[in-house]
Amino acid sequence: MIKCPQCGAENFPGMAYCEQCGTSLPTPEAAVAPAPAEATAPSGDGAAADAIVGAQALLDQLGGGDVSDAAPSPQEATHNVATPAAEAAPVDASPAGSAPVDTAPPAPTAQPGPADAPAGGFPQSATTLPTLTIVFADSNAQFIVNQDVTNVGRADVAQNWHPELDVIPFGGGDPNFGVSRHQAVIRRDGNSFSVLDVGSTNGTYVNGRILEYNKSVELHDGDTVAFGAFNAKVRISA
């Protein structure tokens, strides 16, 4: 009950003015809500009955109504107690003090360098093949053999014959040299070179010696070679 400070009359809780003198009644301080962990449901029928009587008196002052229609039963009040915050908080299942998971990508693998070479070493590049150059004595012109098979002779447009080494541009087209259209063949076999006569009219010579028909002779650096009477010198370089 709330006691009127003016006339001392007792008034029901919740009333703003005294029923006897109309004086404003003091407003009770709001009760501090208990911590969720300490909240308890009301127990006993006596406490519930007192709450209903006080609420009914307040409703009568405000316009009537039956408090039993809105007041929860003691059993319902028990189930309506708020769940303590401590119980609702999620539980951290990770162990205390555990370090965050490292999700950084792995470091790139180092490429092998000279220090990582295998015991046998890395494969070496292919060895450069030697080069044969024919230097013609009369003109000092040069022809480099860059194929495995090089035909030597005089070109004949009428017969559609164009040997790889046509002696005409080098001065060998003079009939006095006696170079045949099909004179000889120079072959390259790996690091070595050879020449053979293919049945020329005036023969093929190496170091002054005539070659047998279709029989090859190996060439060396510094050798002389003659196609008929058209002389040349052989140079072989790595």
If you write DSSP's letter for every residue of 198-236 in order, what string do you get? -S-SS-EEETTEEPPBT--EEE-TT-EEEETTEEEEEEE
Cα–Cα distance for residue pair 204/228, rounded to 1 Å: 6
Closest CA to 130 of 192, 187, 185: 192
* Of 38 and 136, more confident: 136
pLDDT tens figures, 1-53: 778 888 888 877 777 777 778 778 777 654 444 555 554 544 545 555 566 65
Question: What kind and span of H or E run contains 2?
Answer: strand 2-3
Looking at residue 83, its pLDDT comes to 47
Task: Return the beta strands (E) in 90-221 as ranges.
Answer: 131-136, 142-145, 149-153, 165-166, 184-189, 192-197, 204-206, 209-210, 217-219
Instruction: Give the type of residue at 93.
Output: A
Looking at residue 110, its pLDDT comes to 54
Task: Give the domains, in start order, of the chain with CATH numbers.
Answer: 2-79 (no CATH), 131-237 (2.60.200.20)
Looking at residue 17, its pLDDT comes to 75
